[in-house]
A and B are shown apart, each in its own frame.
Chain A
Amino acid sequence: MSEISSNLKLGAEPLDLTADVLVIGGGPAGTWAAWSAASKGARVVLADKGYCGSSGATAPSGVGVWYVEPNPEERAKAKSSREALGGFLADHGWMDRVLDQTYENVAHLAQWGYPFPTNERGEQVRRGLQGPEYMKIMRKIVKQAGVRILDHSPALELLLDFDGTVAGAAGVQRQDDRPWSVKAGAVVIATGGCAFLSKALGTNVLTGDGGLMAAEVGGEMSGMEFSNAYSLAPAFSSVTKSAYYNWASFTYEDGRIIEGAGSQRGRSVIARTLLTQPVFCRLDKADEETQVWMRKGQANFFLPFDRAGINPFTDRFPVTMRLEGTVRGTGGIRIADTTCATTAPGLYAAGDAATRELICGGLTGGGSHNAAWAISSGYWAGGGAADYALALGDKAHSRRLRGAGRAGLRPSGAGFETAEVVRAVQSEVSPYDKNLFRTEQGLSDSLTQLNGLWRAVQGRPDSATTAEGALQARQAAAMVATARWMYASARVRTETRGMHKRIDHPGQSPELQYRLLSGGLDTVWVKPDPTSVAAPSSKETVAS
C-alpha cells in the first residue's frame, strides 16, 4: 500500500499493517469501540491523530454522564427531560438502549478501577468522569485487550476494495514523517465532531475528518443543522466550562447589567452584545458554601482564573463564546442500524463523529448525553465491526485496495494556501451573526463562499510535502465539507428547533418535525430522513 507514500514523498519507510478492525480516533468512543471489538476476538488497530489518552474534548475535561438507575420512573424522567429542548427528534428506542448500555459499561469502568467518589451512604456515585483519569484507564484497558495503538497517526483517507467496500485506511505518522496503512475487515470512525480549530478546550484535533472520509465512500450525514454550539469562556482562555455561569451577572464595560443575559436561556443576548462590544462577567450569585463546592467540582474551571490572578467571584472579567460546532452539537455521520453501521458497507461510526439526534434530538450540552452516546455507540460500533470483519475471514486481507481520499490529498488544479482556507472557513462559521443567528440570506451568502473554498481545496495545497502539511491540508478540506453540510441543512430547516435558530423563521413548525439527512461532495444534497417520525416522502433538495 504505497499510494500515500508515492503521493507525498515522505521520508520514512511506510508502516503497513493488517487487522480485523481498524478504529480511527482514540477518545472515549474510539477506545470503547476498540475494547469491544477486541473482546469479540478481533485483532484491532487504533489510530489517533494525537495521543490516545489526551486527545479530544473529554480528556482535558470533566464530564457528567447520562447515567440513570434502571428503575422505570427515573428512566422515564430522564428520557422526557430534554425532549422538548431537543425539538422532539429523539427516538425512545435508542434512548432506552443507550441508558441500558451506558449503565452496564460504566460498571465495567468501576471494575477496571476508575476511582468513583462515594456518597454519605458509602455508595459509588457514577454520574461523572474526570477526563484525564477516565482516558488513562481506557488506554490501559485497550492495550491490555491486545489492541495496537498508533499515536500521532492521523488517518487521511479510507481504502476501498474494488467492489467499493471499506477495507482499511491510510494516513501519516506525523512525528516520523512516515506513511501508514491498515488493511482491515471493517473500520470504525470515532474522530469526534468539528469545532473548526476554535481552541475550545481539547477540540483542536476535532476538524471533521471522519465526516469527509465517510462521505468519500458513500456515508451520509444527519442533523448537520445542529452544529452551532458555542460555549462561554473567559475571553482570553480555552476553558469552555459553562455550568458555573449559572451564578454569573453579565455587564457592559461601564458596569451596567445586561438585561436578559444568562448562561442557559440568555446566551443569545450575550452573543448579540458581543457583536458590538465586550461583555463582562462576575460569579457574584454564588454564596460562600457554593464557592467551596464549585472548586471541588471542577478544578479546571478555576485554572485560568488562578493563573491570571482573577477572583471570578469578586472580579469582573471579559467573556467570549467559543464555537464548539458539532462537538456539542448533535449532527454527524448517519447511523443506519443498531450496530452503528453507516450507509457505506464495512464502515461504522461512533461518538461525536456520528449523529446524536437519536438520543437528544437537536440539542445537547457538554458531556451527559454525548458521553453516554460515546460509551454506547463505541461499544456497538466496535462489536458490529468485529462481527462483520470476522465473518469475512481471510478474504478480508487478500483484497486489492485503492485510496478514496480526494480533496486536499490528491490535487487536481491550481494551488491553495492551507492557512488561508482555514481562516476563510472560520470567517463563515465562527461569527454569531452567521452561525448562531441564521437567515436565508446569510446562509446562502456563506454557501457561495464555502462552495468556492471547496473548489479551491481540490487543488495542490502549499503545505502537503510533509506528513504534518498533508494533515493540515486534509483538515482544511474536512472543515469546508462540514461547513457546507451544516449550512445546506440549516437552509432547508426553515424553522427554529433545538439549537438551530432561524431569525427569519423564529417558530417551530410541526410539519418539520423530522430529521434531515445530508451529504455529497461536489454537489451537496439535503433530504428528510425517511426513518424519522412524520417525515414526508423523500424529496431531495440540491443545495449547491
Chain B
Amino acid sequence: MIELVSQSRCIECNLCVKVCPTNVFDEVEGGAPVIARQSACQTCFMCEVYCPVDALYVAPEAETSVEVNEDRLIDLGLLGSYREAVGWGPGRTPGAAKVDASEYMQEKIRKTLH
C-alpha cells in the first residue's frame, strides 16, 4: 500500500490525487497531498509511475501497512525505481520499446516445460 508522500520532494502538482484509480489521496491547500484512505489503496503502483519527482512509495505489502523510512528507501534506490523500470521520465526510453521478450519466453516455456 501507499506509505509515503515525501514532503521534501513533493512539488504539490496533485497528479497523484488525479491519477489514483481508487481515490486514496486528498489535496491539501498549500501543501503536499495526504494519504486519506490508505485501506482503499489497491497496490497498483500507478501513482508512483505518474509522480514526476519520485516523491511516492508504494510498499509491496497489499494487505498490511508497514513502516518505511525515506532515507533508507533512497539508499536502497527504491524511491522512483518503478518509474525508471517503466521508462518514464526525461531522457528515458519507454520500457515498452525495449527488446521484446515474449517470443523468447514463449519458446522457452514450450521447450523446457512441456
Contacts and interface: CB of A to CB of B under 8 A. Distances in A.
A243 B100 CA distance: 16
Interface in B36-71: 40, 42-46, 49-50, 59-64
Interface in B79-112: 81-82, 85-86, 88, 94-105, 108-109, 112
Interface string A105-140: 000000000111111000001011110111000000
A205 B103 CA distance: 32
B102 A202 contact: no
Contact of B18 (A125, A151, A468): A151
B63 A133 contact: no
Interface string B1-44: 00000000000000001111111000000000000000010111
B102 A297 contact: yes
A246 B109 contact: yes
Contact of A202 (B44, B60, B86, B112): B44
Contacts of B85: 299-300, 303
- Interface extent on B, as a size class? 35 or more
- Interface extent on A, as a size class? 35 or more
B83 to A, nearest CB: 9
A79 interface: no
A50 B102 contact: no
Contacts, number: 142
A376 B96 CA distance: 22
Contacts of B59: 307
Given A119-B103, A236-B60, A296-B98, A53 B44 contact: no
Contacts of A234: 60
A290 B108 contact: yes
A125 B42 contact: no
B95 A299 contact: yes
B100 A238 contact: no
A299 B86 contact: yes
Centre residue among A115, A303, A307 by max chain B CB count within 10 A: A307
Nearest to B50: A54
A290 B49 CA distance: 26
B97 A115 contact: yes
Contacts of A116: 96-97
B46 A132 contact: yes
A116 B102 CA distance: 12
A101 B95 CA distance: 26
Contact of A125 (B17, B78, B100): B100
Interface string A281-307: 000010000100110111110011111
Contact of B104 (A115, A152, A204, A293): A293
Contact of A54 (B44, B81, B82): B44
A199 B44 CA distance: 9
A55 interface: yes
Interface string A255-278: 000000000000000000000000
Nearest to B85: A299
A49 B98 contact: no
A303 B108 contact: no
A291 B22 CA distance: 33
Interface of A: 49-51, 53-56, 59-60, 64, 114-119, 125, 127-130, 132-134, 151-152, 174-175, 199, 201-205, 234, 236-239, 243, 246-247, 285, 290, 293-294, 296-300, 303-308, 468
Interface of B: 17-23, 40, 42-46, 49-50, 59-64, 78, 81-82, 85-86, 88, 94-105, 108-109, 112-113
5 contacts: A50-B20, A128-B102, A132-B49, A285-B112, A296-B99
Given A117-B98, A237-B61, A297-B102, 14 more contacts: A116-B96, A117-B100, A119-B103, A133-B96, A202-B44, A204-B22, A238-B42, A246-B113, A285-B113, A299-B85, A299-B95, A303-B81, A307-B78, A308-B60
